[in-house]
Structure 1
Amino acid sequence: MSRSHADPRPSPDWLAPPDLKAAGTVQRLLAEKVRAEPLAGPVRTVAGVDVSQFPRDPRGLIFAAVVLLDAETMRIREVATALRRAPMPYVPGYLGFREVPALLAAFADLSTPPDLVMVDGHGVSHPRGLGIAAHLGVLLDRPCFGVAKSILVGKPVAELGEARGSTVPLRWKNRDIGTVLRTKNRVNPVFISIGQRVTEGEAVEWALRLSPRYRLPEPTRQAHEAANAFRRRWLEEGGAEPE
């Protein structure tokens, strides 16, 4: 990963801690580096990120995809992929350690870094304040937020309206940690939380703006499709194991 894409350079323990106790310590350390601040400049490009995996795969293969879209037209400008072995098994609450190494490898292949990153997962709406969107956002040091399909921690403070654009705060331990957002009329909501260098209001605005037709915003929807296509192509080409 080049320094132009991330500052500071990730420490090995930030990606592959030796055990869960160390992983929790890393999460708390990196959570302190999360900055909720207004976007520093115009958003011309948005990257959606997601991964694909085989069910119950003992090899822990992670097929990562980053899809760079034009923020105005939502047309795809570039797709980057990477295949890595997860450095640790799946444990709820520690997803970033499985997926972030592969995502960083995919980001390193982009010719141009995005102005905003949208992750299929949680940001600070996490027991230790470091869901995958915050984990990735801190290591990339780029504006980043999470769009999750279900709640990890917390509860909506009120009943959500049925209309597109309806929002209510997601609250945990007397603190607002995200936003419940309805992106389509009478369709299940998504759960927005910041990852790095963006405000919650901006994250909600961009998630809604980039969801003109579907429940999921176009960047993460396209990343989901790209990651699955990458995994299928890998199988068709013989399934060479990563180093």
Structure 2
Amino acid sequence: MFNFKKAAVAQQILRKKVQVKPLETSINYVAGCDLTFLNPFKTPTVGIAAFTLFKYPELDLIEKVWISGEVEIPYVPGFLAFREIPLLVRAFNKLSTKPDIVIVDGHGIAHPRRMGVASHFGVVTGTPTIGCAKKPLYGNFSPPENRKGAFSFIFDEEGKRIGAVLRTKVNVKPVYVSPGHLIDVEGGLHLVYNCVKSYRLPEPTRISHNFLKGIRKQLMKNNKK
């Protein structure tokens, strides 16, 4: 059985390894990742993880990989990484070209223990990461103006800047960006905005999500045969 007290302690230990600082390398390749489940309300269930790799800044799709496997850890907000990381790492290792940075569908340091899935993945793999989530999890912020590119910063209870709320399209809900590992708030915000085309989400995570939907649909179909 999953021990949440031990998991919280592990997050505090890993938190000390997170480095929030300006990105030290140039970006030629950016990847996005996402994970879904055949039955998200069941434990254990089958999880499916995918990575897509893009040339940057052109955003030309270079590679898509995926992997599936059993997941025995239940979903509990704040502990998502323990449910997703094993499959995400296995999928990441299938990429023939390693990215300079990864955009993760989830949070980075904008997390109660500063250890969201993006930070956890970054520390485990030693990869620069950014969290880009669809919903807020932690922190104080004001809604950004209703214009493309508008943003407002996310602060913790001590007033420290831990992320940003970014409006990628007019009249559309914003996304929640926070550093995962080896990048800072401003750098993460800049990269996510540059990876947005015609949709709300940055292309790397959007394409990963759509890729997963197709795989899940096929697996569900196969299971019914």
Q: Normalising by the residue count of structure 1, what TM-score does the alignment of the two structures yield?
A: 0.87
User: What whole-Å deviation, never above 9, does each CA across 1:201-241 have from its counterpart, x for those lacking one?
Assistant: 110001111112111000000110112222223234458xx
Alignment of 1:215 with 2:193, yes or no, is: no
Aligned residue for 1:189?
174
- Report how far residue 123 of structure 1 moved: 0.3
Q: Tell me how many residue pairs correspond in the alignment.
A: 223
Gaps of 5+ in 2: none
Please give the secondary structure, in 2, of the residue aligned with 1:63: strand
Aligned residue for 1:112?
97
Counterpart Cα distance in 1 of 2:77 and 2:198: 31
Counterpart Cα distance in 1 of 2:130 and 2:57: 18
Alignment of 1:199 with 2:184, yes or no, is: yes
- Report how far residue 182 of structure 1 moved: 0.7
Aligned residue for 1:5?
none
Please give the secondary structure, in 2, of the residue aligned with 1:202: helix
1:13-162 aligned within 5 A: 18-53=2-37, 54-156=39-141, 158-162=142-146
* Percent identity (aligned): 35
C-alpha contact (below 8 Å) 2:155/2:161 kept by paired residues: yes
Aligned residue for 1:177?
162
- Report how far residue 155 of structure 1 moved: 2.0
List structure 1 runs of 4+ shifted beyond 6 angstroms. none
Counterpart Cα distance in 2 of 1:193 and 1:18: 27
Counterpart Cα distance in 2 of 1:176 and 1:86: 34
Aligned residue for 1:7?
none
Counterpart Cα distance in 1 of 2:72 and 2:20: 29
Q: Normalising by the residue count of structure 2, what TM-score does the alignment of the two structures yield?
A: 0.93
Aligned residue for 1:164?
148
Please give the secondary structure, in 2, of the residue aligned with 1:69: strand
